[in-house]
């Protein structure tokens, strides 16, 4: 387990580091995963500043992308959809690797079904990212004063921090590489569109509010075997 810490850098500069911790912390794990998502799924800021170079738009989209990271079998199913459209062999290979590495078991981080689909309270994790100056949530209100959308402002520090994390702890490259795959599915899609796709799975849509969303490993493995069996 690793935690965010601050310490003295060159010439007394305060820097954010990533160090080992003997005490496991889901909060730190969630913060790191969310930061990888925010950076990978963000767009360049219209007017970059020292505090913000990228912007990630919409909380619903954040939750939908997080679900695909946490449920490798659902991601595999989405990649098979994309493979059937494009016939890109690397997509099929990526799905095969997901199951060869037993990711639906060892990488699964379960989510609860709530009013609008898969959900987890990420306020603590986001508060940590904000505290360290990595990402800051912004509430966008309509003319009636009601909150309409969340945006997340990504600092240059966040990008260099993740690069340093992967450099110092190569095993964390899994998050970087996984988000590259997830964004093949999520790029250009709204949170609503991603969640609509998730609801198309009965196991997801029929989950009672407050219950944990089950995996679809068996169904996706069967689909994968059928596709591979049809390949020349």
SS (H, E, C) 130-173: HHCCCEEEEEEECCCCCEEEEEEEECHHHHHHHHHHHHHCHHHH
Confidence band for 9, pLDDT divided at 50, 70 and 90? very low
Convert the pLDDT of each residue in 98-107 to its tens digit.
999 999 999 9
pLDDT number for residue 25: 66
pLDDT mean across residues, the chain: 87
Confidence band for 185, pLDDT divided at 50, 70 and 90? very high
Please provide the size of the chain in residues.
Answer: 232
Q: How far apart are CA 33 and CA 40, in angstroms?
A: 11
Convert the pLDDT of each residue in 190-225 to its tens digit.
999 999 999 999 999 999 999 999 999 999 999 999
pLDDT number for residue 20: 42
pTM: 0.85
Q: What are residue 231's phi and psi, to 5 degrees?
A: -70, 140
Q: How far apart are CA 94 and CA 5, in angstroms?
A: 34
pLDDT at 114 over 60: yes
For 97-119, give one letter per residue: b (16+ CB within 10 A) or e.
Answer: ebbeeebbeebeeebebbeebbb
pLDDT number for residue 122: 84
Confidence band for 158, pLDDT divided at 50, 70 and 90? very high
DSSP one-letter code for 8: E
Q: Over pLDDT 90: what percentage of the chain?
A: 72
Q: How far apart are CA 227 and CA 202, in angstroms?
A: 21
pLDDT number for residue 139: 78
Q: What are residue 98's phi and psi, to 5 degrees?
A: -55, -45
Q: How far apart are CA 94 and CA 187, in angstroms?
A: 17
DSSP one-letter code for 212: B
If you average pLDDT over residues 60-77, what whole number do you get? 96
Residue ranges of the domains in the chain?
2-230
Which residue do the tokens 């799975």 mark?
201
DSSP one-letter code for 118: E
């Amino acid at each position: 387990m690793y935690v965010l810490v601050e310490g003295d850098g060159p010439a007394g500069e305060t820097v954010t580091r990533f160090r080992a911790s003997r005490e496991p912390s889901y909060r730190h794990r969630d913060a790191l995963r969310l930061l990888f998502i925010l950076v990978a799924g963000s767009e360049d800021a219209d007017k970059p500043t020292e505090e913000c170079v990228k912007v990630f738009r919409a909380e619903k989209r954040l939750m939908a992308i997080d679900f695909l990271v946490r449920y490798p079998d659902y991601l595999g199913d989405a990649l098979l959809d994309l493979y059937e459209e494009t016939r890109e062999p690397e997509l099929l290979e990526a799905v095969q690797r997901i199951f060869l590495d037993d990711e639906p078991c060892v990488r699964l981080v379960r989510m609860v079904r709530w009013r609008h689909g898969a959900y987890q309270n990420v306020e603590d994790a986001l508060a940590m990212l904000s505290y360290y100056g990595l990402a800051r949530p912004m509430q966008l209100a309509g003319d009636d004063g009601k909150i309409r959308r969340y945006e997340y402002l990504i600092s240059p520090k966040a990008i260099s921090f993740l690069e340093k994390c992967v450099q110092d702890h190569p095993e964390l490259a899994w998050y970087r590489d996984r988000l590259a795959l997830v964004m093949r599915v999520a790029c250009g899609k709204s949170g609503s569109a991603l969640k609509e796709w998730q609801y198309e799975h009965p196991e997801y849509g029929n989950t009672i509010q407050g219950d944990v969303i089950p995996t679809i490993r068996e169904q996706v493995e069967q689909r994968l075997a059928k596709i591979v069996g049809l390949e020349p």
